[in-house]
Structure 1
Amino acid sequence: MYRFEYDQRLGISIPDLDRDWQLFDKATQEEILSQWEEIRGDIPDRVKKLEEQINIKQAELFNEDDFNKSCDINTEISELASTINDLWLWFRSQGEISGKSHH
Structure 2
Amino acid sequence: MKEYFTYNERLGIELPIIDLEWDDLSHEVQEAILLYWENIRGAIPDRIVLLEKTINRKQEQLNDEGDFQISCQLNSEIAELASIINDLWLWFRLNQNISEKMHQ
Q: Aligning the two structures, in what range does the TM-score lie when normalised by the shorter sequence?
A: 0.7 to 0.9
Runs of 5+ consecutive residues of structure 2 not aligned to the other structure: 100-104
Amino acid at match of 1:94: Q
CA distance in structure 2 between the partners assigned to 1:45 and 1:66 by the alignment: 33
Q: Which has the higher helix share?
A: 2
Deviation at 1:81, TM superposition (A): 0.4
Deviation at 1:40, TM superposition (A): 0.7
Amino acid at match of 1:76: E
CA RMSD, 1 decimal: 2.0
CA distance in structure 2 between the partners assigned to 1:95 and 1:25 by the alignment: 19
TM-score (norm 2): 0.81
Deviation at 1:20, TM superposition (A): 4.0
CA distance in structure 1 between the partners assigned to 2:27 and 2:87 by the alignment: 27
Aligned partners of 1:21 and 1:96 also within 8 Å: no
Runs of 4+ in 1 over 2 A off after TM superposition: 19-31, 94-97
Structure-2 residue corresponding to 1:63: 64
TM-score (norm 1): 0.82
Percent identity, please: 54
State how 1:8-23 maps to structure 2 within 5 Å: 8-21=9-22, 23=24
Amino acid at match of 1:95: N
Q: Which has the higher strand share?
A: 1
Structure-2 residue corresponding to 1:74: 75
Runs of 5+ consecutive residues of structure 1 not aligned to the other structure: 98-103
Count, aligned residues:
97
**Structure with bigger RCO (C-alpha 8 Å, 6+ apart):** 1
